[in-house]
Amino acid sequence: MPSLHTRVTEDVGRSIVDGTVPAGAVLLSDEIERRQGVSRSVIREAIRVLGSMGLVESVKRVGIRVLPPERWNVYDPTLIRWRLLGPGNGEQLRSLTELRAAVEPMAAELAARHATPTTAAELLDVADLMRIAGRSGDLTQFLELDIRFHRLVLHGSGNEMFAKLDEPVAAVLSGRTDLGLMPNHPHQNTLQLHADVADAIAGADPQTARQAMELIMRRTYAEVQPTWAGDPQSEL
């Protein structure tokens, strides 16, 4: 069961992300306290968390001001989950899929150059387990393994900036499954491509690792693109 401050954070945060509470609106602690039936200390903790996400800021003698999307910490995994659960989930899927397509092939290439033997061996094991879970239709197990696989590649790259993307990537992989965008049995080609990435990293073959990951990203993009088809891509 979620804690009180988690429940309040979730309720207020999702209402901001889905647009129910618009940017520029001012929230009052007293009103949130009465509506949620919790103590002032719970509200303070919830507002602290929302502030760390860039969703709100406390303004002296005014209240809690809701901030516009350009102020949001868009890499925060909880914020990603809320956006995937909201009406703008297509836009969130697009931005994260485009990010992955740009970063993960390079991460695979770097991992083939820098990953330790331990990481390479673990990637080979995970790719084998993904094939088993995929063929059996165990999407829960497959998701756990998929997250682990991509985390290993990002960390194996030796690039600390890439490594910090592991949680956003995990959030979008989970969101994709939650939205029913994963087939009951992942494509055999996808399973083979993950094995190809692992083999190339273990074999210190940067070009093949990059090419195989690019193919994974292209297939992923094609599978989720219908969620944002027809939606204009806004300038920032």
Q: State pLDDT tens for residues 42-86.
A: 999 999 999 999 999 999 989 999 999 999 999 999 999 999 988
pLDDT (tens digit, 9 = 90+) per residue, 5-51?
899 999 999 999 999 999 999 999 999 889 989 998 999 999 999 99
- Give the residue from 109, 118, 97 showing the smallest Cα distance to 207: 109
Mean pLDDT along residues 140-144: 95
pLDDT (tens digit, 9 = 90+) per residue, 149-183?
999 999 999 999 999 999 999 999 998 888 877 77
The alpha-helical segments, DSSP class H, found in 66-224 are 77-85, 89-114, 117-136, 139-156, 160-163, 166-178, 188-202, 206-224
| Predicted local distance difference test score (pLDDT) of residue 234 | 67
**C-alpha span between 210 and 108 (Å, rounded):** 5
| Predicted local distance difference test score (pLDDT) of residue 179 | 81
- Sorted by where each starts, the structural domains of the chain and their CATH numbers stand as 4-71 (1.10.10.10), 77-227 (1.20.120.530)
Candidate from 3-17, 113-127, 193-207 with smallest mean pLDDT: 3-17
Token digits for 58?
């406390």
Cβ(165)–Cβ(103) under 8 Å?
Answer: yes
